[in-house]
């Protein structure tokens, strides 16, 4: 039986000393130099803009980089007190569980039950212990029992992420590494993951962009800059207050509360304890003098107006309509029945629902990409940003991909490359980009093309840093202002609230609600039944309505 | 029902049927194998007869090559024409072609019975548990078995993306040019997928112990013995009926 390695008490769980990684034929370092320690029992959040080398750094912990993914490494890496290279990546699996950014790097294509048991079988654990651990992991991750016999390849992107989470949890390893674990998870599934990370005893290293809900469980934050070097580390409260401006400039995510705190500090309202969640800010606001509260109210109104999309009412004929539609994925039975909806020019609509609710199927059907199994669809085809951006790439370089849309006009191409921060990778093959860069390229090509009267964006912010997410939000606003419609499929409630005025909730194979988004997000019963959570921002909206200032 | 059987006895039975199909040079025997295989899938497995007919098309095209070769280039298939000289299809060359044609379909249909009624995961587990197949080779084989449906699914995704770029709904079936243009992206997908699967298996400890636990490996049941006996008996009866041995009795 393969046993986990014991950690010397004084040794950190992971230690990088002056580590730098360079991939073959690459001119620049992928990451580094980085000197950082992850202490035993600690929950460390690694932040940085997309493409800065966070995933590469995680890969060095078990030697996947360079043993499986070739690279040149300088510096020292010690995992659980011994050099990472002293064991093979496979031998580390008893002590280190890894949840990769791409679920397909965690899963091997088996049935759900076999996937979750796979790492335990490889350690030759007794069959009854494997059964117990698999049951426990499936329950912890919230994977329904009915999925056990399903092949993971037949699941939706979010469902696969959930199974990957269960597979990593089943390892019950001393060190748990998660690379953007919530990118495709519905809010209730993300909350379950946050509860796991908040548990006692184990050591967690997490890279994630969705901080609200996660940040309260984190002990320490380390930040890598665009140049791949570590530039800050410390407690979350200190880092977000002291380095908030720099983080914003680097395009790195901050909790909403940290952003608002920065604005309040700007007008001289400094809360005693730097806040991580909006409820802490509200507590602080309640203790302010009436004059300060009035000043704070002005700032908060501005803060909210930047983060909540205004209403848009379309009176013109609809762009596309579905009537009593039965919508099915390719080569599959219908997952949505009796769908009737329309999308009008200039509208911004969020499609919400739990993993596997049929959101992508609805989007692709409305865009005219999937044939109906029943009912009717009217209207022209729409543009569709696929959940896996590679699907859209057909050219040999980033520049050529953009030229296929806007022609050979170098000035236009350079402007797009600059707007989406792709100028440094313009001549690279699209498949060589990081996940975040691939998504930016896919969205850049889609939004640059003006042929479509409406766009459907499937999980547009998954894997993106704050700067890219803000860029997409402003593009969506511009597209809508130009009279085109945008439909956003997302689990990111804050992004939905920021970009969309209307919401559609899918549940139980049909449309459970179709109404102004802010009204939907205040319907607790609806959210609970559809596996959604209200965005944190609504706490502030409610406070502003309850406390005139 | 065939899907519930242990994969290994089923594999042995299918190999025996394939060997018989290759060894017996009689069009009636080959036709009997095709009919019995098709009936097994339609009656026992409840597969659509149309699907079974569609499955026969590639094997029939392959077999048609044998038929034309045997008919037009008889000197190159001397053994086949001599073996077929006694059959009731007129010219020996044409008879030999018919046998080769039916053999291609028979082999294809027996293989299809195994593939369509065997879940790859169960098959690999059975090979590892019973025949001590190395897990590294077993899971490589497992990935390869799943590659075909996954490639088909990826091809459809790429077709959707291209159709969107062109502003047209994709045709139900791709034309020759479109099919050719899919080759390179699908090759790239297959390489990426293999790379990801290798990372996933490595990161989750494949190959760290010499004897790993296998959860849910199929177990032999009385039904497997019954299936084996019935399948081999059917083959024997088919041989006796088509070879004329029974006349000697």
Domain range summary for chain A, segments of one domain joined by +: 96-172, 256-307, 320-542
A56-65 confidence digits (pLDDT tens): 999 999 999 9
Question: Which of A90, A165, A329 is the best substitution to test chain B (most B C-beta atoms within 10 A)?
Answer: A90
Identify which of B149, B164, B208 has the shortest CB distance to residue A2. B208
Using the CB atoms, write b or e for A419-430: b if 16+ within 10 Å.
bbbbeebbebeb
Inter-chain touch A127–B215, beta carbons under 8 Å = yes
Helix ranges (DSSP H) in A148-277: 157-170, 187-197, 236-242, 244-249, 256-266
Give the model's pLDDT for residue A9: 56
Same domain, B68 and B156: no
Residue B129 domain-assigned (yes or no) = no
Between B145 and A120, the more confident residue is A120
Q: How does strand A320-327 pair with strand A374-378?
A: antiparallel
Residues on chain B touching A107 (C-beta within 8 angstroms) = 200
Residue B148 domain-assigned (yes or no) = yes
Residue B208 domain-assigned (yes or no) = no
Same domain, B158 and B227: no
Give the model's pLDDT for residue B88: 55
Query: Does the global pTM surpass 0.80?
Result: yes
Same domain, B69 and B152: no
Same domain, B188 and B98: no
Give the model's pLDDT for residue A185: 82
Greatest Cα pair distance, chain A, in angstroms, is 69
**3-state helix, strand and coil shares in percent for chain A, rounded to the nearest 5:** 40, 20, 40
Same domain, B12 and B78: yes
> Is the backbone peptide bond immediately before A413 cis, with ω within 30 degrees of 0?
no
Inter-chain touch B204–A119, beta carbons under 8 Å = yes
Identify which of B167, B199, B213 has the shortest CB distance to residue A125. B213
What is the mean predicted confidence (pLDDT) over A368-388?
89
Q: What is the mean pLDDT of chain A?
A: 89
Distance CA A462, CA B86 (A): 70
Same domain, B174 and B113: no
Same domain, B63 and B97: yes
First-to-last C-alpha distance (Å) of chain B: 36
Of residues A55, A153, A70, the one with CA closest to residue A436: A55
Count how many domains chain B has. Answer: 2
CA distances from A270 to A263, A290, A537 (A): 10, 15, 20
Inter-chain touch A369–B160, beta carbons under 8 Å = yes
Distance CA A447, CA A44 (A): 36
Helix ranges (DSSP H) in A384-462: 398-406, 410-419, 435-448
Lowest mean pLDDT across A113-117, A209-213, A231-235, A427-431: A209-213
Residue A387's contacts (CB-CB under 8 Å, 6 or more residues apart) are A157, A184, A360, A458, A459, A462
A175-220 confidence digits (pLDDT tens): 999 998 887 788 888 888 888 877 766 899 999 887 878 888 899 9
What sign for the dihedral angle of Cα A218, A223, A224, A225? positive
Give pLDDT tens digits along chain B (249 positions): 789 999 999 999 999 999 999 998 888 999 999 999 999 999 998 888 998 888 888 888 887 777 777 666 655 556 655 655 555 555 666 677 788 889 999 999 999 999 999 988 899 999 999 999 999 999 888 888 878 778 888 888 888 888 887 777 677 778 888 888 888 888 888 888 888 888 899 999 998 888 899 998 999 999 999 999 999 999 999 999 887 766 666
β-sheet with A348-352: strand ranges across: A383-385, A454-458, A485-489, A348-352, A502-507, A510-516
Inter-chain touch A68–B204, beta carbons under 8 Å = no
The CATH superfamily label for domain A320-542 reads P-loop containing nucleotide triphosphate hydrolases (3.40.50.300)
Distance CA A334, CA A330 (A): 10
Give the model's pLDDT for residue A98: 92
Helix ranges (DSSP H) in B77-119: 78-83, 92-116
Q: Measured between CA atoms, how close is B92 to chain A, in angstroms?
A: 46
Residue A78's DSSP bridge partners are A15, A83
Two tokens, residue B171: 């045709």
Question: Which of B138, B163, B164 is the best substitution to test chain A (most A C-beta atoms within 10 A)?
Answer: B164
Lowest mean pLDDT across A7-16, A268-277, A373-382, B11-20: A7-16
Residue B34 domain-assigned (yes or no) = yes
Give the model's pLDDT for residue A366: 93
Same domain, B142 and B111: no
Residue A284's contacts (CB-CB under 8 Å, 6 or more residues apart) are A271, A272, A275
Distance CA B155, CA B179 (A): 9
- Residue A32 pLDDT grade (very low, low, confident, very high; cuts 50, 70, 90): confident
Residue B46 domain-assigned (yes or no) = yes
Q: Measured between CA atoms, how close is B131 to chain A, in angstroms?
A: 18
Residue bearing tokens 């520049």: A399
Inter-chain touch B213–A126, beta carbons under 8 Å = yes
Helix ranges (DSSP H) in A172-277: 187-197, 236-242, 244-249, 256-266
Same domain, B8 and B113: yes
Q: Which residue of A has its CA nearest to B135?
A: A122
Q: How many residues does chain B have?
A: 249
First-to-last C-alpha distance (Å) of chain A: 65
Q: Which residue of B has its CA nearest to A445?
A: B165
Is a pLDDT exceeding 80 seen at residue A84? yes
Q: What percent of chain A has pLDDT over 90?
A: 54
Q: Which domain holds residue B98?
A: 2-118+220-248
Same domain, B161 and B97: no
Between A196 and A522, the more confident residue is A522
Residue A364's contacts (CB-CB under 8 Å, 6 or more residues apart) are A329, A370, A384, A456, B160
Identify which of B149, B163, B202 has the shortest CB distance to residue A369. B163
Inter-chain touch B149–A153, beta carbons under 8 Å = yes
Residues on chain A touching B144 (C-beta within 8 angstroms) = none
Give the model's pLDDT for residue B69: 74
Give the model's pLDDT for residue A390: 83
Give the model's pLDDT for residue A103: 83
ipTM score? 0.79
The helix or strand, by DSSP H or E, that contains position A511, with its residue range, turns out to be strand A510-516
Give the model's pLDDT for residue A330: 77
Residue B165 domain-assigned (yes or no) = yes
Give the model's pLDDT for residue A201: 63
Inter-chain touch B216–A98, beta carbons under 8 Å = no
């Amino acid at each position: 039986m393969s046993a986990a390695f014991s950690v010397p008490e004084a040794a950190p769980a992971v230690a990088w000393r002056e580590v730098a990684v360079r991939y073959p034929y690459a001119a620049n370092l992928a990451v580094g130099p980085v000197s950082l320690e992850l202490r035993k029992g600690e929950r460390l959040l690694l932040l940085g803009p997309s493409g800065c080398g966070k995933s590469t750094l995680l890969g060095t912990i078990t030697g996947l980089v360079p043993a499986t993914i070739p690279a040149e490494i300088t510096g020292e890496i010690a995992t659980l007190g011994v050099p990472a290279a002293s064991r093979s990546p496979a031998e580390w699996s008893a002590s280190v569980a890894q949840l990769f950014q791409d679920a397909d790097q965690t899963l091997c294509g088996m049935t759900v039950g076999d996937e979750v048991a796979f790492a335990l079988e490889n350690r030759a654990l007794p069959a009854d212990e494997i059964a117990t651990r698999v049951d426990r992991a499936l329950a912890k991750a919230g994977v329904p029992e009915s999925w056990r016999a399903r092949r993971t390849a037949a699941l939706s992107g979010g469902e696969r992420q959930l199974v990957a989470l269960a597979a990593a949890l089943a390892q019950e390893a001393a060190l748990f590494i998660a690379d953007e674990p919530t990118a495709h998870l519905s809010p209730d599934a993300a909350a379950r993951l946050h509860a796991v990370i908040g548990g006692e005893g184990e050591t967690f290293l997490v890279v994630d962009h969705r901080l609200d809900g996660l940040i309260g469980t984190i002990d320490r934050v380390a930040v890598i800059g665009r140049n791949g070097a570590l530039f800050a580390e410390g407690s979350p409260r200190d880092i977000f207050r002291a380095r908030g401006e720099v983080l914003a400039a680097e395009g790195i995510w901050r909790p909403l509360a940290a952003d608002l705190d920065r604005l309040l500090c700007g007008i001289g309202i400094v809360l005693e304890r730097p806040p991580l969640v909006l409820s802490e800010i509200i507590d602080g606001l309640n203790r302010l003098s009436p004059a300060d509260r009035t000043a704070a109210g002005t700032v908060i109104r501005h803060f909210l107006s930047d983060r909540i999309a205004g209403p848009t009412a379309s009176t013109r004929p609809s762009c596309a309509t579905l009537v009593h539609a039965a919508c099915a994925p390719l080569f599959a039975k219908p997952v949505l029945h009796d769908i009737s909806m329309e999308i009008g020019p200039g509208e911004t609509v969020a499609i919400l629902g739990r993993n596997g609710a049929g959101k992508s199927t609805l989007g692709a059907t409305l865009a005219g990409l999937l044939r109906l199994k029943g009912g009717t669809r009217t209207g022209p085809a729409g543009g569709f940003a696929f959940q896996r951006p590679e699907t859209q790439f057909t050219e040999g370089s980033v520049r050529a991909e953009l030229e296929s849309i806007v022609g050979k006009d170098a000035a236009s191409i350079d402007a797009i490359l600059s707007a989406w921060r792709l100028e440094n990778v313009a001549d690279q093959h699209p498949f060589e980009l990081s996940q975040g860069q691939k998504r930016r390229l896919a969205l850049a090509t889609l939004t640059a093309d003006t042929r479509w009267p409406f766009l459907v964006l499937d999980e547009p912010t998954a894997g993106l840093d704050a700067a890219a997410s803000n860029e997409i939000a402003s593009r969506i606003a511009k597209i809508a202002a130009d009279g085109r419609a945008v439909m956003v499929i997302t689990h990111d409630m804050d992004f939905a609230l920021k970009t969309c005025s209307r919401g559609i909730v899918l549940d139980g194979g049909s449309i459970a609600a179709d109404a102004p988004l802010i009204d939907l997000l205040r319907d607790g019963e609806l959210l609970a039944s559809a596996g959604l959570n209200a965005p944190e921002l609504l706490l502030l909206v409610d406070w502003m309505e309850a406390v005139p200032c | 029902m065939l899907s519930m059987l242990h994969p290994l006895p089923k594999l042995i039975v299918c190999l025996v049927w394939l060997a018989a199909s290759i060894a017996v040079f009689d069009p009636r025997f080959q036709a009997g194998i095709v009919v019995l295989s098709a009936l097994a899938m339609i009656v026992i497995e409840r597969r659509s007869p149309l699907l079974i007919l569609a499955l026969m098309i590639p094997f029939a095209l392959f077999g048609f090559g044998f038929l034309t070769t045997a008919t037009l280039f008889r000197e190159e298939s001397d053994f086949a024409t001599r073996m077929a000289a006694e059959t009731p299809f007129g010219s020996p060359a044409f008879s030999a072609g018919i046998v080769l044609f039916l053999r291609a379909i028979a082999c294809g249909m027996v293989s299809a019975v195994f593939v369509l009624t065997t879940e790859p995961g169960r098959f690999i587990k059975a090979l590892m548990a019973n025949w001590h197949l190395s897990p590294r080779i077993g899971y490589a084989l497992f990935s390869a078995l799943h590659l075909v449906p996954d490639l088909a699914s990826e091809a459809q995704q790429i077709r959707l993306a291209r159709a969107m770029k062109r502003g047209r709904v994709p045709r139900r079936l791709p034309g020759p040019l479109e099919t050719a243009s899919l080759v390179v992206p699908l090759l790239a997908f297959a390489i990426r997928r293999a790379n990801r699967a290798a990372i996933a298996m490595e990161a989750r400890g494949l190959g760290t112990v010499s004897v790993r636990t296998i959860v849910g490996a199929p177990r032999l049941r009385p039904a497997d013995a019954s299936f084996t006996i019935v399948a081999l008996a059917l083959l024997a009866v088919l041989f006796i009926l088509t070879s004329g041995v029974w006349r000697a009795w």
